[in-house]
Amino acid sequence: MKFFIDTANLAQIQEANDLGILDGVTTNPTLMAKEGIKGTEAIAAHYKTICEMVDGPVSAEVLGTTFEGIVEEGKNLAAIHPNIVVKVPMIKDGIKAIKWFTDHGIKTNCTLVFSAGQAILAAKAGATFVSPFIGRIDDGSWDGVQLIEQIVNIYNTQGYMTEVLAASIRNPLHIVRCAEAGADVCTCPLSSILGLLKHPLTDIGLQQFLTDAKAMQ
Ligand code: G3P
């Protein structure tokens, strides 16, 4: 399973990248706005900086909702850097645009996916990635990871090439369960990635080793 970081914060991207386990980055308008990025030029410059930091796919989301608008924006985003993946919402015009991008060799990430039916449509349109939002599904008392399992099963059965990118990750257990469910990619906040490191027996064991090491010097 590939690890992407779900943020537009450069310090967090750098910290995750320095671990050596980062395969890509996803952003969305909420995450970009949080960093104070405003205006077409600043947006493009920020994506370029991220692409120069991380050697892997960087999802840049369109802001428009019409076919023409999405295609125009997507072409401009894709021109920023070869690693840009155009992130498109799961709406009727979005599906049409994803098919257009597929036919023109532009990579896409179909976002705001909450059902297996939506994931089938994204795959039919040739999306490179599909992003089911598992944390937001959990928020409504359904099981987001069950949706990942279902989509992985459908894609394997049907031979769809779209990669299942588990999004809206809220904790380290989500990452573990997505790996079990066969997700191709997990896009996570830095805190969830770092949470994977934690185990009290590791801390206790290391403390003992450090104490005993002193006796060896
Ligand atoms: O980038 C999409 C997704 O990961 C958003 O997560 O935490 O806002 O539901 P969240």
The answer to whether residues 170 and 204 touch, using CB atoms and an 8 Å cutoff, is no
Tell me the residue type at 45: A
Q: Where are the beta strands (DSSP E) in the chain?
A: 2-6, 24-26, 58-61, 84-89, 108-113, 129-132, 163-166, 185-188
Direct distance between the N- and C-terminal alpha carbons of the chain, in angstroms, rounded to an integer = 42
- Nearest-atom number in ligand 1 for the CA of 135 is 9
The alpha carbon of 8 and the centre of ligand 1 are apart by a number of angstroms equal to 12
Distance of CA 18 to the CA centre of its chain: 18
Would you place residue 22 in the very low, low, confident or very high pLDDT band (cuts 50, 70, 90)?
very high
- Nearest-atom number in ligand 1 for the CA of 59 is 1
Quote the CA–CA distance of 156 and 167 in Å, as a whole number.
20
Query: Tokens 């999405």 appear where?
Result: 70
The alpha carbon of 60 and the centre of ligand 1 are apart by a number of angstroms equal to 14
Residues 6+ apart with CB under 8 A from 69: 62
Q: Where are the beta strands (DSSP E) in 67-170?
A: 84-89, 108-113, 129-132, 163-166
| DSSP secondary structure letter of residue 142 | S
The alpha carbon of 167 and the centre of ligand 1 are apart by a number of angstroms equal to 6
The answer to whether residues 96 and 71 touch, using CB atoms and an 8 Å cutoff, is no
Residues 6+ apart with CB under 8 A from 54: 13, 17, 22, 24, 25, 83
* Average pLDDT score over the chain: 98
- Which residue, judged by its Cα, is nearest atom 5 of ligand 1? 168
| DSSP secondary structure letter of residue 167 | B
Number of H helices, E strands in the chain: 11, 8
Tell me the residue type at 42: A
The alpha carbon of 27 and the centre of ligand 1 are apart by a number of angstroms equal to 9
- For the whole model, what pTM was predicted? 0.96
> Rounded mean pLDDT of 195-217?
97
The pLDDT assigned to 64 comes to 97
Would you place residue 152 in the very low, low, confident or very high pLDDT band (cuts 50, 70, 90)?
very high
- Nearest-atom number in ligand 1 for the CA of 136 is 9
Instruction: Return the best residue to mutate from 27, 147, 168 for the ligand 1 pocket (most ligand atoms within 8 A of CB).
Output: 168
Quote the CA–CA distance of 97 and 106 in Å, as a whole number.
10
The alpha carbon of 153 and the centre of ligand 1 are apart by a number of angstroms equal to 23
- Which residue, judged by its Cα, is nearest atom 3 of ligand 1? 168
The pLDDT assigned to 3 comes to 98
The pLDDT assigned to 163 comes to 98
Quote the CA–CA distance of 29 and 73 in Å, as a whole number.
14
> Rounded mean pLDDT of 5-28?
98
The pLDDT assigned to 88 comes to 98
* pLDDT single digits (tens) 39-93: 999 999 999 999 999 999 999 999 999 999 999 999 999 999 999 999 999 999 9
Q: Which of 8, 20, 22, 23 is nearest to 163 (CA)?
A: 23
The pLDDT assigned to 186 comes to 98
Active site residues: 87
The pLDDT assigned to 14 comes to 98
Task: List, chain by chain if needed, residues with CB within 6 Å of any ligand 1 atom.
Answer: 6, 26, 28, 133, 135-136, 167-168, 187
